[in-house]
Structures are given as C-alpha cells and as structure tokens.
Structure 1
Amino acid sequence: MSQAATYSVQTVLKDGTPIQIRALRASDEADMLAAIARTGPQSLQSRFFVLKRHFSEKERAYFMDVDFSNHVALAALAEEQGRYAIIGGGRYVVVEPDRAEMAFIVVDAWQGRGVGSLLLRHLTDIARAQGVRELTAEVLSDNTPMRSVFAKAGFRPGRSEDPRTVRLSLSLGSARPA
C-alpha cells in the first residue's frame, strides 16, 4: 500500500485555524456528502462544470474508490460545532503515464482561507514522490480564485479544447524517485 493511503498532517490556515489534511477514507462518504450539501451551486458548478447537487451510486463509488496509486484523494478537516468535519477535498487521477489531472472543492464558508492551496501543496508533494511528472487541471475561465491558487503554485495556462475552460499544467521534473 502506498504511503499516500495513510497520509495525515496537522497544519494551519493563513488565519491560524488548525486543520487536518489526510487521505480520504471509505468511511468519509457521509461526511463528504454533507460537505457537498454545504457547498453552494456556483462552487459546485466551478468544480463539476455543470450544476450538480446529487450524485449517482456510480459517481459516489468513483469518488470514494481511491487506490492511492492512480487515484489519490485528500480531505481537509476542521472542527465545526465540536467535531471534525470535511471542509474541502482534492484529488488527482493519473490519466496517462506520468501525467495526472487534479480537481478541488472547498465548502463555501471555508473558501479564501487557504484550504485549496494547502490541499494543492500536499497533493503535489505526493504526486512528485510517486513519480508523476506533470499535473494538469481544467478550470472554468471565470473561476478566478482557483486560477489564482494554481498560478501561485507555478501552474501555467495552456490550450484547452473547451472554450469555457483554461487548461493549467505544472511540470514536476523528469526524474522518477529511486
């Protein structure tokens, strides 16, 4: 099993709020669905490119069936009303050898506080350690906050096949880990 499957770190947001970033677990499904329910329609459209409120059994299985090799997913958790709850998540899926596509979502109440940037940094570190050489993301052109998160991490814009989106990419180098 990959080290990513047991990944867990305590960190803090830019305002000092403590959060945990850890590997998504099968037992997180209900909490993940609760986080989606606390996420507004515009945020969901920014993530899924369509207005999405409900997920089929097949979609839920896909999101939860993470092998931590070709599909790596992290959850960000913070204390809310006396218990830890998922406030965001990020994942990458290997789409061809050495290249993976990333995606993120952050609950509206937690946006703009650095959750997405922290998830991106930790996923990038895992990808690099696992030999991924390039990370890509498709972002809606008008999703300025997420485009800014990717730009600060060094992602560069490229050509997208969909005129509504911007394709962003980050080279992680060519050396595979020993």
Structure 2
Amino acid sequence: MSQIASYSAQAVLKDGTPVQIRALRASDEADMLAAIERTGPSSLQSRFFVMKRYFSEKERAFFMDVDFSNHVALAALVEEQGRLTIIGGGRYVVTDPGRAEMAFVVVDAWQGRGIGSLLLRHLIDIAQEHGMQELTAEVLSDNAPMRSVFAKSGFKPARSDDPRTVRLTLDLASPRPA
C-alpha cells in the first residue's frame, strides 16, 4: 500500500465551508453507505447508469477494497451535527498501464458547491504523481453538471461505445487549465 493510503488535505469551499479530502478507509464503509442513502435516485443513476439502491456484498467489497495503486479512492468529509460526515467520493481504477477510469458521487444536498471539482483536482494530482498518462470518465449524455466539471479540468470528449454516454479523456502530459 502506498503513501496515498494516508492522503489527507484540507480545503475550503467557495461558501467558506471547510472540507477534508482524504483517502477512503476500510472503516468508512458504514459512513459511505449512509452517504449513498442520502443520495437521490437520479444522482445514483448518473453515477451507476442504472437505478441503484442496493449494493451486493461483491460490489461493496470492490468499492471498499482500495489498494491505492490500481484503485485509488478519496472521500470528501464535512462536519455535520458535530461529526465528520462523508458527503462525496471519487476514485480512479487503472484499466491499462498508464490509464485509469474515474467516477464520482456527491450527496444531493452538497451538489453544485464544488465537491466534485475538488475531488477531481486531488485525483488528477495523485494520478500524475503516480505516472498515469491518461484519465477517462464515462458520463451520461444528459449529465451536464458533471460534464462541465470535467471540461473545466481539461477533459475532452472522445468516442463512446454507448450512445447514452460521453467518454471524456484527459491527457496528463498536456498542460491543464488553472
């Protein structure tokens, strides 16, 4: 396991809310499931491309079994009612040497506040530090907010095999927008 397993950074949203971006931990499973419970059906469909409310044991194991080499996952946490609560997460999974696919989910109440962009910036930095050359993401065609988040970070549309989705790619060797 790499040093990414202890990754932690503090940030502040535009509205002044402090947020912690840190490596997802095995002990986060209950908090992650609680965040999913607070995420609406259309947001979950945007993330998983199907209506999703239940995760099998195998799916839960995949989401939580993060090796921080081929599978890197970060959680965004804020203080709610006196305790740190997961409000979003992002990950990348290596699909080929030097290439990884990304995905994100943000609790509905926190969408539109910069959580996805924050997670994306941290994951891009980690990917670059660990030699990734290209990041990709599949986004539903009608998910304009997430497409915008990726576009602002320099992702470009590419051909998708699924007509419902847009494939977005980021060449990490190219300069990124600030």
Normalising by the smaller structure, the TM-score range is over 0.9
Aligned-residue offset at 1:136: 0.2
Amino acid at match of 1:100: A
Are positions 1:101 and 2:101 aligned together? Answer: yes
| Per-residue Cα deviation, 1:75-106 (whole angstroms, up to 9, x for no partner) | 00001111110000000000000000000000
| Per-residue Cα deviation, 1:109-140 (whole angstroms, up to 9, x for no partner) | 00000000000000000000000000000000
CA distance in 1, matches of 2:146, 2:21: 19
Are positions 1:142 and 2:142 aligned together? Answer: yes
Note the 1:1-178 alignment, pairs <5 A. 1-173=1-173
SS in 2 for 1:67: coil
SS in 1 for 2:87: strand
SS in 1 for 2:46: helix
Amino acid at match of 1:79: E
CA distance in 2, matches of 1:16, 1:148: 22
Segments of structure 2 that go 5 or more residues without pairing to the other structure are none
**Seq. identity, %:** 82
Amino acid at match of 2:24: L
TM-score, scaled relative to structure 1: 0.97
CA RMSD of aligned residues (A): 0.8
| Per-residue Cα deviation, 1:43-66 (whole angstroms, up to 9, x for no partner) | 000000000001000000000000
TM-score, scaled relative to structure 2: 0.97
| Per-residue Cα deviation, 1:128-171 (whole angstroms, up to 9, x for no partner) | 00000000000000000000000000000011000000000000
CA distance in 1, matches of 2:159, 2:84: 39
